[in-house]
Every structure is written in C-alpha cells, then in structure tokens.
C-alpha cells in the first residue's frame, strides 16, 4: 500500500513538474523547479515585504538610507533587463543586528547594525549584491515551488496556483523566507547561498565595485572572536571557509567584469 502511495506521489510530482515546469537561473544555467509565475512572485513578495516593514522600525539616518539606495540602484542599473522587471525597494531597518535580507520581487533590507562591519561602499555592495542575487535567481519562488511539490497534491496545487489572491499567507511567507512571527527571516539553503555569493560577486563588479572587497567583508564573518556579534547574519547566511574559498575561485571572472566597468 505504501509503495502504491509513493508511486502516486511521484506521479503527481511528475505531473506538477510537467504542468508548471522548470526555470533556469541566468548565468549559472542551473535548472530549478519553478511553479510560481513571476507575476505571483512579485505580488506575494510585495505583500510579505509590507508586513515585515510594518513590524520593523525603519532608520531615519539619511546617510545610511542614501548609501543603501545608491549602491542598490547602481547594481540594478548595471544588470539591465534582468533586474528592470522588478519594483526594487532598498530599506534600512533600525537595529543593532548585523544582518540583511531580500524578499522576492525586488525587496532588499539592510539592518543599520551591519554598517559597523562594512568598511566602505564596496563591502556594502558585497552584501547588497548577494541579496539582489537571491531575488534575480528567484530563490524564494524556488523554495515556494519545493514546498508546494512536497506539501500539496496535484489538485490542491492546481487550485492554489490558479488563485491570484492570497489564500494562505503563512505558507507563502514561510516559503519566501519569512517565518510566521514576522521579522524572523529564514535561512536559504547552502546551494542558494553559494549561488548568491557567486552572482553577487559578478553583480557588484559589473556595477564598478571591486569584488575583492567581498572577501575582506565575508572574512569578518569567519572570525570566531566576532561570532556573537554576527550570529544573526550567520543564522540566515551560513558562512564557512569553503564559501570564501569558492568566492576566491570565482574571483578572476568577477575581476574581468570589474575591469570592464572601469573602462566604461
Ligand atoms: Zn544569502
């Protein structure tokens, strides 16, 4: 009986996959399960963003606000059509927490506590580029797709996806990385972290920020003496020496983009 059920689940998954299909991440060419339209993704991401923003205290520090908006704007501009389709918003949340997060559809927040660890614009661009990469690679919608595939059967999923309005906000928000208690941002998978690191390096470099600053920045997070201060960031962006190693391996490619941007 169990085998029969498993076969059913596999068949349903296959049908779902067939109906809804796959997408490919730009530049890395990684195939991803994608059962969420971009339109829905933007609508749900915006809804989740408004809920998070309503529960957080926004910074009034105009220098920090302008810095984040300027860097975010520069990176988005350098990415052209891949980024232009999203209604971007870059906000600074007032908090001692050293963290940043992105929600689908072009929403990026940096906590004011992170400024203590970013020595210059390029280091901040490393974080913002990483968060923008989560958005453009559609990591939130991919996580949502996996949850749908796991949690709901074919008929329910079909009905769910046909509804343009929010049917189950908690499910959406969890899938997008916002826990039921708004404000707690859930970690991405290691696969998504590595991909956002790589794409983030290229994005910052294209916008004219020296990608080597990313190594300087992320190294601060692998310093055990600072671990307690940076716990929040580490909980949502699991860091390890191998992530830095991988960024170093990608550095020559990022440097070609950086040098091109310098010639423009
Ligand atoms: Zn991340």
User: What tens digit of pLDDT does each residue of 16-54 get?
Assistant: 555 557 889 988 999 998 988 899 899 989 988 998 999
Alpha helices in the chain (DSSP H): 2-20, 38-55, 62-79, 81-84, 121-136, 139-151, 154-162, 169-175, 190-206, 212-219, 231-236, 241-263
Give percent above pLDDT 70 in the chain. 70
131 included as an active-site residue: yes
* CA 63 to ligand 1 center in whole angstroms: 24
Among 41, 123, 131, 195, the active-site one is 131
* CA 11 to ligand 1 center in whole angstroms: 33
* CA 110 to ligand 1 center in whole angstroms: 12
CA of 148: how far to CAs of 16, 80, 151, 255, in Å? 9, 31, 5, 39
User: What tens digit of pLDDT does each residue of 53-70 get?
Assistant: 999 999 999 999 999 999
pTM: 0.82
Give the residue-averaged pLDDT of 153-168.
51
User: What tens digit of pLDDT does each residue of 196-222 get?
Assistant: 999 999 999 999 999 999 999 988 876
Out of 42-51, 149-158, 250-259, least confident range: 149-158
* CA 132 to ligand 1 center in whole angstroms: 9
Helical pair 241-263 and 212-219, crossing angle rounded to 10 deg: 150
* CA 183 to ligand 1 center in whole angstroms: 16
What does the H/E/C string look like for 5-41? HHHHHHHHHHHHHHHHCEEECCCCCCEEECCCCHHHH
pLDDT of residue 223: 63
CA of 62: how far to CAs of 66, 69, 98, in Å? 6, 10, 18
Residue 143 confidence class, pLDDT cut points 50, 70, 90: confident
């Amino acid at each position: 009986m169990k085998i029969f059920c498993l076969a059913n689940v596999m068949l349903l998954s296959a049908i779902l996959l067939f109906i809804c299909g796959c997408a490919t991440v730009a530049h890395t060419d990684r195939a991803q399960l994608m059962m969420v339209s971009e339109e829905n993704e933007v609508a749900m991401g915006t809804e989740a963003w408004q809920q998070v923003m309503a529960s957080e205290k926004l910074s009034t520090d105009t220098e920090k606000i302008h810095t984040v908006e300027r860097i975010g704007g520069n990176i988005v501009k350098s990415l052209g059509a891949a980024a232009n389709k999203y209604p971007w918003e870059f906000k600074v949340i007032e908090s001692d927490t050293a963290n940043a997060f992105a929600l689908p559809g072009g929403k990026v927040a940096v906590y004011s506590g992170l400024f203590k660890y970013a020595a210059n614009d390029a280091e901040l661009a490393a974080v913002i580029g990483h968060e923008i990469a989560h958005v453009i690679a559609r990591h939130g919608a991919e996580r949502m797709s996996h949850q749908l595939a796991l949690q709901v059967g074919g008929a329910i999923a079909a009905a769910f996806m046909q509804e343009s309005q929010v049917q189950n906000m908690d499910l959406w928000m969890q899938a997008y990385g916002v826990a039921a208690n708004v404000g707690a941002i859930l970690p991405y998978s290691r696969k998504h972290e590595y991909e956002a690191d790589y794409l983030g390096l290229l994005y910052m470099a294209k916008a004219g920020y020296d990608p080597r600053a990313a190594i300087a920045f992320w190294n601060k997070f692998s310093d055990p003496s600072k671990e307690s201060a940076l716990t929040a960031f580490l909980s949502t962006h699991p860091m390890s020496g191998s992530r830095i190693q991988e960024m170093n391996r990608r550095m020559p490619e990022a440097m070609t983009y950086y040098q091109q941007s310098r010639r423009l």
